[in-house]
């Protein structure tokens, strides 16, 4: 029998009979590996264990113990088990899609009657019933016409539409549960059977437009999470419960920070206390950027479409832009403008004012400019995703030779800011050139190497995401880890060979010739709205003293203490401390509970004893004990804490 040779990850090879599959390879390597195998990777492409191997294929086995294996398990749960359970319970429902998401999965479908969170228990029960069959899953390939016909007969209109809209002509993958006959279209790979599925839990129900288009049907979306073991699942559910307790929307209401309303969807109404957090954070970032050599600017929010046409946003990003039309005075025509979705084209306009020399580079600009982007209503989530926001936005115009040093400088700045704000752990993702891109391979080589060298010289951990760079250049994304282990992508640094050239931006080189600068787009915190949401959840609302909107409350115990409290409050306010009075005719225990809910760092009780001794009785947030201090000593303590990280 003719043999084939496959190359293993360690560089060794394995001889197998022609016609062997991934499952055959796993078994040939070892029975333990075959038991844990869920899929294979052939020439960097994930495939099912049932797929055939060809001579000289580079092959690795994906096991259930790996991150990829866990994702495949979740995908199988969504596309096979959850979808099958939906059809069993709601036979007339039409299935849509079921991808994986971070730490879980979801499935979209169109039911004939409402499905709510109260229905999740019975859906879970049906899923477990399906899993108990331990059914093998078989994959077959079909032509486009056959695949459309298959789903047309089942009246699965969404599946038929996916196939019809595809550029693919052949090899549509259909997965079938052998014991029930349930079939679904999927890119795969899937588990070969249900034996390797661990523990799962359905978590919530929401709505989602088909293909994210508000003109299309509103589907029901069921979310779930899945893990290898019951212990892993329980740990995640506890983390989820913790996340619900510290949800920034809940904290925002309790602390009276902000609100949203229907008349301005996705736009934040900042209350005085919330805006105090915002401005304190902004002042800190402003000073950090000033020290790092940035010049702050401010540019228009409403700009003529011509600018966006030149930048390329009109063609590539218009559906996410807010467009306005006005009748120009003394002109017989309308003028089309757009609210800016980003600041970069405006910053190029500032750069272009006057001739720049190589001596002027790097040229660093920063702006807290308000941006507006149309986000579908179903995607908005409190402060975490809004339509109106401001970033700690910045752009660096530099030469190619300066990319590495500017990258290092930005990472130094970002690292210091994250540390000051309480985030000691972050990771870096380096996204490299995509297939569709502009610029020469030589310029991409230089940019990617500059980014990589800068990270390595700082001895920071990073991973490479092949092919996920922007079409105009590679980028770095900075991912924070919060107090309960969640990941947040906040900062970014993007190398752009494209935009300066579109606006004819140049600088005069040392040789007198004109050159096009490289543009680095960068933000450390990203959206202020989103970052404040992250801060609130990370600290459970108990913000550092310098960021707390109200830092001290002086609560009088009796009416006789009111004058003393007023005088002390005036002293604190004059020293720049955000102090408030509470001289209401309420029990002190009631006042303490109320102000604790608002996460105020220090609650000071003042009664006759404090007046006689010239002291204060101080309760720190989170403590149930009062500490008596001399008034002067307390003021000195507050002044030390008042300073933000730059001042310390």
Is the pLDDT at 29 greater than 80? The verdict is yes
- Residue 578 known to be catalytic: no
Point out the domain boundary residue: 508, 538, 568.
Answer: 538
List 138's β-bridge partners, or say none. Answer: 176
Neighbours of 304 (CB within 10 A): 12
Tokens linked to 512: 């007198």
The first and second tokens of residue 230, run together, are: 């019951």
Looking at residues 491-502, what average pLDDT do you find? 91
In this prediction, residue 319 carries a pLDDT of 85
The number of residues in the chain equals 648
Q: Looking at the structure, tell me whether residues 383 and 512 fall in a common domain.
A: yes
Domain total in the chain? 3
One domain, residues 392 and 502: yes
373 is catalytic: yes
The tokens of 565 are what? 């409290």
pLDDT at 648: 63
Q: What is the 3-state secondary structure (H, E, C) of 544-568?
A: CCCCCCCCEEEEECCHHHHHHHHHH
Residues 531 and 458 in one domain: yes
Cα–Cα distance for residue pair 529/419, rounded to 1 Å: 19
Can you give the pLDDT at residue 441? 86
Encode 275-284: b = buried (16+ Cβ within 10 Å), e = exposed: bbbbebbbeb
465: annotated active-site residue: no
348 within some domain? no
Identify the CATH number of the domain in which residue 421 sits.
3.30.930.10
- Residue 211 and residue 181 share a domain: yes
Annotated catalytic residue within 24, 184, 221, 344: 344
391 classed as catalytic: yes
Backbone CA torsion sign across 46, 51, 56, 60 = positive
Which range, of 53-62, 113-122, 454-463, 629-638, averages the lowest pLDDT? 454-463
Lowest mean pLDDT segment, chosen from 93-102, 187-196, 321-330, 565-574: 321-330
Q: What is the reported pLDDT for 530?
A: 96
561 shares a domain with 450: no
CA gap 153, 48 in Å, rounded: 27
Task: Give the least confident one: 199-203, 307-311, 413-417.
Answer: 307-311
- pLDDT above 70: percentage of residues in the chain: 99
Greatest CA separation for the chain: 102
Q: Is 212 contained in some domain?
A: yes
Q: What is the arithmetic mean of pLDDT over 536-540? A: 94
Spatial distance between the Cα atoms of 505 and 361, rounded to a whole number of angstroms:
13
Note whether residue 400 is domain-resident. yes
Confidence category of residue 418, pLDDT binned at 50, 70, 90: very high
pLDDT tens per residue across span 253-293: 999 999 999 999 999 999 999 999 999 999 999 999 999 99
Q: Are 389 and 530 in contact (CB under 8 A)?
A: yes
CB 286 within 8 A of CB 392: no
- Name the active-site residue from 280, 391, 402, 494: 391
Q: Quote the CA–CA distance of 223 and 569 in Å, as a whole number.
A: 50
371 is catalytic: no
Using alpha carbons, select from 11, 222, 36, 4 the residue that is nearest to residue 111: 222
Residue tagged active-site, from 221, 395, 446, 522: 395
3-state class (DSSP) for residue 335: strand
How far apart, in whole angstroms, are the C-alpha atoms of residue 58 and residue 45?
10
Does residue 233 form part of some domain? Answer: yes
Q: Which structural domain range is residue 132 located in?
A: 68-245
Q: How far apart are CA 396 and CA 179, in angstroms?
A: 61
Mean pLDDT throughout 303-312?
A: 90
The secondary structure of residue 193, as a DSSP letter, is B
User: What value, to the nearest 5°, has the Cα angle with vertex 206 and ends 205 and 208?
Assistant: 140
Question: What would the two tokens of residue 127 be?
Answer: 């899923």
The string of pLDDT tens digits covering residues 436-466 is 777 788 888 888 988 888 888 888 889 998 8
State the catalytic residue, choosing from 347, 372, 373, 522. 373
Judge if 423 and 534 occupy the same domain. Answer: yes
Confirm whether 415 is domain-assigned: yes
Q: What percent of the chain has pLDDT over 90?
A: 70
| Domain CATH number, residue 562 | 3.40.50.800
CA angle 541, 622, 538 (to 5 degrees): 30
**R_g over Cα of the chain:** 30
Taking 80 as the threshold, does the pLDDT of residue 332 lie above it? no
- Contact in structure between 19 and 36 (CB atoms under 8 Å): no
The pair of three-digit structure tokens given for residue 461, joined into one six-digit string: 């951990």
Kindly state whether residues 111 and 234 are assigned to the same domain. yes
For the stretch 16-19, contacts whose Cβ atoms lie closer than 8 Å and that sit 24 or more positions apart, written own/partner, are 16/53, 18/55, 19/52
Residue 533 sits in the same domain as residue 556? no
Q: Check whether 647 has a pLDDT greater than 90.
A: no
- Average of per-residue pLDDT values in the chain: 91
β-sheet bridge partners, residue 323: 338
pLDDT of residue 450: 86
Cis bond leading into 189, ω under 30°?
yes
Residues 104, 102: Cα–Cα separation, whole Å: 6
Residues 212-236 have a mean pLDDT of 91
Residues 6+ apart with CB under 8 A from 34: 23, 26, 27
Helices (H), 421-517: 441-457, 499-502
Looking at 538, 560, 588, which one is the last position of a domain?
A: 538
Q: Is 300 left (phi over 0), alpha (psi -120 to 50) or beta?
A: beta
Examine the residue annotation and report whether 475 is marked as an active-site residue of this protein: yes
* 75 lies in some domain: yes
DSSP 579-632: EEEE--SS-HHHHHHHHHHTT-SEEEEE-HHHHHHTEEEEEETT-S-EEEEEHH
Distance from the first to the final alpha carbon of the chain: 77
Q: Which of 287-296, 470-479, 620-629 has the highest mean pLDDT?
A: 287-296
Name the band, by pLDDT with cuts 50, 70 and 90, for residue 329. Answer: low
Of 426, 417, 544, 428, the C-alpha closest to 486 is 426
- Tell me, yes or no, whether 360 and 438 share the same domain: yes
Which member of 48, 51, 184, 393 is catalytic?
393
- Local structure of 177: helix, strand or coil: strand
Q: CA 506, CA 351: separation in Å to the nearest integer?
A: 9
Cβ neighbours of residue 146 closer than 8 Å, sequence gap 6 or more: 172
Rounded Cα distance, 313 and 320, in Å: 10
Return the structure tokens found at 393. Answer: 């936005």
Query: Annotated catalytic residue: which of 190, 475, 595, 619?
Result: 475
- CATH code at position 241: 3.30.980.10
Q: In the predicted model, is pLDDT for residue 331 greater than 70?
A: no
Q: Give the pLDDT confidence score for residue 239 in this predicted structure.
A: 87
Same-domain pairing of 493 and 595: no
436/72 Cα distance (integer angstroms) = 28
- Write out the E strands in 183-268: 183-185, 199-209, 218-227, 258-259
Of 207, 227, 245, the position where a domain reaches its end is 245
521 is catalytic: yes
Q: Are 392 and 523 part of one and the same domain?
A: yes
Q: What pLDDT is stored for residue 424 in this prediction?
A: 84
Q: How confident is the model at residue 150 (pLDDT cuts 50, 70, 90)?
A: very high
Within a domain: residue 162?
Answer: yes
Which of 77-81, 287-291, 327-331 is the least confident region?
327-331
| Same domain? 533 vs 566 | no
What average pLDDT score do residues 242-246 get?
88
The residue from 372, 433, 521, 591 that is catalytic is: 521
**Angstrom distances, CA of residue 269 to CA of 121, 185, 272, 313, 591:** 38, 44, 10, 28, 27
pLDDT interval class at 624 (50, 70, 90): confident
For residue 257, being part of any structural domain is answered with no
Find out whether 378 and 533 touch, Cβ atoms under 8 Å. Answer: no
How many CB atoms neighbour CB 186 within 10 A?
22
């Amino acid at each position: 029998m003719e043999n084939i040779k496959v190359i293993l990850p360690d560089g060794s090879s394995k001889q197998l009979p022609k016609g062997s599959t991934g499952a055959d390879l796993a078994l040939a390597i070892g029975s333990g590996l075959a038991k844990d195998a869920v899929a294979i990777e052939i020439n960097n492409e994930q495939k099912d264990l049932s797929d055939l191997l060809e001579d000289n294929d580079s092959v690795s086995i994906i096991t259930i113990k790996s991150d990829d294996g866990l994702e495949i398990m979740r995908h199988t749960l969504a596309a096979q088990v959850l979808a099958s359970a939906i059809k069993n319970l709601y036979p007339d429902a039409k299935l849509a899609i079921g991808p994986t998401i971070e730490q879980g999965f979801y499935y979209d479908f169109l039911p004939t009657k409402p499905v709510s969170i109260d229905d999740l228990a019975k859906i879970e029960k049906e899923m477990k019933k399906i899993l108990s069959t331990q059914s093998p899953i078989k994959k077959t390939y079909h032509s486009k016409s056959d695949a459309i016909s298959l789903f047309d007969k089942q009246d699965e209109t969404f599946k038929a539409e996916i196939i019809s809209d595809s550029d693919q002509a052949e090899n549509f993958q259909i997965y079938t549960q052998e014991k029930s006959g349930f079939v679904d279209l999927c890119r795969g790979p899937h588990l070969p059977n249900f034996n390797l599925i661990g523990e799962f839990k359905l978590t919530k129900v929401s709505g989602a437009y088909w293909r994210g288009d508000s003109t299309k049907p509103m589907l029901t979306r069921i979310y779930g999470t899945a893990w290898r073991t019951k212990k892993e699942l329980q740990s995640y559910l506890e983390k989820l419960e913790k996340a619900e307790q510290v949800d920034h929307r809940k904290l925002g209401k309790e602390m009276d920070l902000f609100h949203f309303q229907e008349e301005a969807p996705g736009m934040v109404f900042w209350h005085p206390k919330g805006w105090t957090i915002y401005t304190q954070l902004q002042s800190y970032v402003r000073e950090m950027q000033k020290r790092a050599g940035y010049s702050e600017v401010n540019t228009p929010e409403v700009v003529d479409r011509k600018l966006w046409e030149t930048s390329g946003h009109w063609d590539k990003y218009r559906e996410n832009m807010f467009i306005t039309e006005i009748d120009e005075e003394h002109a017989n025509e309308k003028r089309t403008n757009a609210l800016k979705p980003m600041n970069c084209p405006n910053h190029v306009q500032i750069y272009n004012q006057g001739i720049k020399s190589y001596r002027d580079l790097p040229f660093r600009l920063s702006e807290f400019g308000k941006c507006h982007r149309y986000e579908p209503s179903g995607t908005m989530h409190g402060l975490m995703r809004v339509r109106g926001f401001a970033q700690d936005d910045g752009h660096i115009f530099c030469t190619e030779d300066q990319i590495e040093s500017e990258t290092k400088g930005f990472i130094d700045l970002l690292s210091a800011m994250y540390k000051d704000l309480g985030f000691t752990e972050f990771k870096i993702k380096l996204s490299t050139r995509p297939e569709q891109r502009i610029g020469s391979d030589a310029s991409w080589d230089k940019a990617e190497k500059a980014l990589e060298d800068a990270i390595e010289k700082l001895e920071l951990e990073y991973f490479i995401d092949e092919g996920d760079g922007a079409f105009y250049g590679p980028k770095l994304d900075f991912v924070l880890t919060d107090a309960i282990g969640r990941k947040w992508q906040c900062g970014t640094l993007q190398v752009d060979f494209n935009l300066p050239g579109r606006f004819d931006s140049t600088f005069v080189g040392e040789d007198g010739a004109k050159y096009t600068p490289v543009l680095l787009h960068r933000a450390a915190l990203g959206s202020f709205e989103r970052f404040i949401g992250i801060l609130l959840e990370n600290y459970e609302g108990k913000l550092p003293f310098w960021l707390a909107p109200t830092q001290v409350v002086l609560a009088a115990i009796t009416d006789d203490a009111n004058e003393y409290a007023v005088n002390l409050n005036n002293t604190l306010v004059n020293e720049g401390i955000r102090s408030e009075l509470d001289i209401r005719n309420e029990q002190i225990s009631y006042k303490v509970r109320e102000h604790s809910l608002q996460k105020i760092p220090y609650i000071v009780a003042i009664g006759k004893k404090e007046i006689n001794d010239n002291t204060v009785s101080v309760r720190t947030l989170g403590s149930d004990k009062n500490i008596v201090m001399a008034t002067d000593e307390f003021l000195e303590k507050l002044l030390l804490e008042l300073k933000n990280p730059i001042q310390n």
